Every structure is written in structure tokens, then in C-alpha cells.
Amino acid sequence: MSSLASPPPEPLILALDTSSSLGSVALARGGALLKARAFEADHGHSQRLLPAIEGVFSEAGIAAAEVDLFAVVVGPGSFTGLRVSLACVRGLAGTRPCFGALATDVAAWAARAREPRILAVTDLFHGEVFASVHDETGALISNRESGDLPIVMGALGDFLRGPAIATGSAATKHRAEIAAAFPGIRFLALDGGLAPHLAGLADANASAETTRPAGELLPFYLRDPLTRGLLNSQPRAK
């Protein structure tokens, strides 16, 4: 894996997420959010993403050439959506550093400091989810599980004893089932999308060791793009 120089202090960050039907774009200076846009794309990410990017640059009075760090959700999620955002980063970043993150890790970052345990759960469609449990800082404390919702919730149950909060695209979609499995669990809706939170995660964690050239960012697929079936051997989370 190629390494790059660490981003400068308080880098200008462009963060993108098109892993689900709710796409989002954010522009941040260090930990301060400058502009953000969310959009319902369904299967139209390619038509919505570039106008959203142009919009945040225009509103902030900033040019793409000024960006120090690019951040993108690499999966899991929509095959087409992941390809669109990764291709966009590759086209914009050139030799500048890029930071990739899983949707669940971004969701957990958004929910940090709210409860001792965070259930981050992303929709894989057809009743299947990708989920993990994190501590109050957003750090991963469980395995990453994927499959039918009841099976995944059962696998993670031991990590969710006591106060907890659920967040992510599947937490909204499957709220009733999650609430039944874990009575008293709170919920955090991310109505503005993942990109604003991704920008904060990237600012806190980007370094020469955690960034890479745009061409080395790979999508994190949990389904075979041809058969749409869950992969027998899951890609390793970066």
C-alpha cells in the first residue's frame, strides 16, 4: 500500500457518500463543517452527486483545487453508488490523500458520546444488514456481522447489554424490529446523510498511515455484483 504525507493541520476536506439512496456531500475545514448537502438519489447517484459537489463549493466560495483531503464511504451498500463516488474521488483528487471508511464506522462516529454502546447498522436490502457494536468513543468492540436482521442482532446481543443507541440506514428502516430485540435502545437518525460525519472522522483519523492515493481506494462489497448473493468470504475491513 502506498503511503502519502499526512494532511496539513485543519485540512480542507471534501467528504462524499453514495452508499445508500440518501447521498450526501460535505465540505469541512478541520473539524468545522462549512457546507453540506443531502439528496435522495435511489439509482440516480451519477446525476445528483456532481451538482451537489459543485453546489457546496459554490456556496463556500472554495475551489476543488484547494481541497487537502478527500474522504469517501467505501461500503457496504449500493454497487452503483459506491462506484460513482469512488470514480468521482479518483477524478478530483489527483495525487492528494484520500481517506476511506465503512458506513457503519461513520455512523458510530456520529453517535459517539451519547450512550455507552452504539449499534451501527447499514441496510443491505432484502432484509439483510451489516452491523457492528462500538463503544461511546465510536471504537469497534464487536465483530462485523452481515446477514438476515434477526441473525445479526442475535450475534451482537452480548455487546448490547445496558444503555445503547442505534444508528445507520438500517436502524431507521428496521426500527421496530431493533427496538423489540433491545428494549430501551435509543435511535439516532442521520437525516443529513453520512458525509458531514465522515468529514469529522477523517479529520480525527487521517494520517500518512490511514490515507492512500485515490486509485488504491477499493469498494467494500458484501454481495457478489453478478449474483447479488452474500459473499462467502467477506472482504477485510480497512
Q: Which residue has the higher pLDDT, 204 or 221?
A: 204
Average pLDDT over residues 135-151: 97
Axis-axis angle for helices 195-205, 103-110 (nearest 10): 90
Q: Is residue 236 one of the residues assigned to a domain?
A: no
Q: Given the C-alpha cell 465540505, which residue does it identify?
A: 27
Does the pLDDT of residue 3 top 60, yes or no? Answer: no
Q: Is residue 226 one of the residues assigned to a domain?
A: no
61-113: pLDDT as tens digits: 999 999 999 999 999 988 888 999 999 999 999 999 999 999 999 999 999 99
- Enter the DSSP assignment of 140: B
145 and 123 fall within a common domain: yes
Residue 67's domain spans which residues? 12-103+192-216
16 and 97 fall within a common domain: yes
Q: How many domains does the chain have?
A: 2
43-75: pLDDT as tens digits: 677 789 999 999 999 999 999 999 999 999 999
In percent, how much of the chain has pLDDT > 70? 89
17 and 97 fall within a common domain: yes
176 and 204 fall within a common domain: no
Read off the pTM.
Answer: 0.91
Q: Is residue 17 one of the residues assigned to a domain?
A: yes
111 and 89 fall within a common domain: no
Q: Is residue 4 one of the residues assigned to a domain?
A: no
What b/e readout covers 168-179, taking b as 16+ CB neighbours within 10 angstroms? bbbbbbbeeebe
Q: The CATH number of the domain where 203 resides is what? A: 3.30.420.40
Q: Is residue 166 one of the residues assigned to a domain?
A: yes
